[in-house]
Structure 1
Amino acid sequence: MRSTYLGLALLFMAGPVLAELRPLAEDELQGISGQAGLSISASLNFAANPAQTRCPGGCGTRVAIQPANSSGFIVLDNIQGTFGFEGLSFDIVTIDSGYGGEGAAFNASAMRLGLTDASFNNARVTLAGSNSATSGGVGFQQTDLLTYQINGDVRINGSLYLFATP
């Protein structure tokens, strides 16, 4: 056990010794290629909490969004199952072509969120309207609009573009 701790300590101490940070000249930068943006991978497991008794067997995760100038909430409730993805990319792109000619007319930047190898497994989610961000409590009211449930796997790939508005 001591040898494991000693090995980890030496590894952490040796890292800074091998690292070198230095400014690069313009001609050196020209020879470097890479990928712009940010990439993230995750696996999330949303399990029911038996202490939340308003759902049979317990409730899953709850996400509440309050639109501007509204007293109510749009709710994704009782989220259960496994969600994972191998790559979530985030970058800024210029749309100046494509989209049936509308890209050239748009000619502006957009934020692109891309999912690579995303999947849902045995998932459940309820779309609802509510008067409260949190569930339960005095005066709590919620209207369930739609419940989506899958038993098995769903695979997703694609990009979501977000555009700035004036």
Structure 2
Amino acid sequence: MNSLSRRFLSVLLLLAAAGAQAEMRGLDDSEMSDVSGQAGVSLSVNFNLAPVAGDNRCPGGCGARVAIQPLNSTGFVVLDNIKGTFSFDGMSLDMVTIASGFNGDGALFNRQAMKIGLTNASATNLQFTLGGANQGKVAASGLQQTNLLTYQATGAVKLTGNVYIFGTP
């Protein structure tokens, strides 16, 4: 790039930067009432969970592990040896109030829940094991785990719909 081209590019970048500055200021209630938008967050994610060869609990190494301890429980529900490629294009996160629907249960619930919308999600070569364990960490001594179900799908699994996560009262 010659000297003249660099100067021209520098001037263009300075002009673009000057035009991109905007004032940040608070809005009062009357100004906020004129603002409209869409609630929630939209995400696009693609990640691969590969086995860790050094983890010898599983032949060939283990995948990721998620341990959840339910309220008032001494044990853990685990998703273990999670492997595969996951893609979420347009996944949305939103807080919604559920006060109707769900075959009448919504009116009884009448609280907020997190809604995860799956518009174009997929998993390729997915594998995981559902089980119960006496502790959440595999590195701690004395781990006792009972595997209940192992799921494996060779190929692609398409996921659509909504997942709701409900808090405890």
- Residue 72 of structure 2 corresponds to 69
How far does the alpha carbon of each residue in 1:58-111 deviate from its partner, in whole angstroms, 9 at most, with x for none?
A: 110111111223222111110000111012222233445544566566655443
- Residue 158 of structure 2 corresponds to 155
- Name the amino acid aligned to 1:121: T
More deviation, 140-149/84-93: 84-93
- Residue 20 of structure 1 corresponds to 23
Gaps of 5+ in 2: 1-5
- Residue 122 of structure 2 corresponds to 119
- Residue 3 of structure 2 corresponds to none
The separation in 1 between residues aligned to 2:25 and 2:76, in whole angstroms, is 51
Quick one: percent identity of the two aligned structures?
A: 53
Q: CA RMSD in A?
A: 3.1
Equivalent residues, number: 159
Note closer, same or farther for the CA distance 1:74–1:97 as it changes in structure 2 (3 Å cut). closer
The separation in 1 between residues aligned to 2:37 and 2:56, in whole angstroms, is 51
- Name the amino acid aligned to 2:132: G
More deviation, 14-23/45-54: 14-23
How far does the alpha carbon of each residue in 1:117-140 deviate from its partner, in whole angstroms, 9 at most, with x for none?
A: 111100100011112212255322
| TM-score, length of structure 1 as denominator length | 0.76
| TM-score, length of structure 2 as denominator length | 0.75
The separation in 2 between residues aligned to 1:73 and 1:46, in whole angstroms, is 22
Shift of 1:48: 0.4
Map 1:99-114; keep pairs closer than 5 Å. 99=102, 103=106, 108-114=111-117
- Residue 44 of structure 2 corresponds to 41
- Residue 89 of structure 1 corresponds to 92
The separation in 1 between residues aligned to 2:136 and 2:149, in whole angstroms, is 18
Gaps of 5+ in 1: none
1:59 corresponds to 2:62: yes
Note closer, same or farther for the CA distance 1:138–1:118 as it changes in structure 2 (3 Å cut). same
- Name the amino acid aligned to 1:59: C
- Name the amino acid aligned to 1:152: G
Q: Secondary structure at the match of 1:54?
A: coil
Shift of 1:18: 1.9
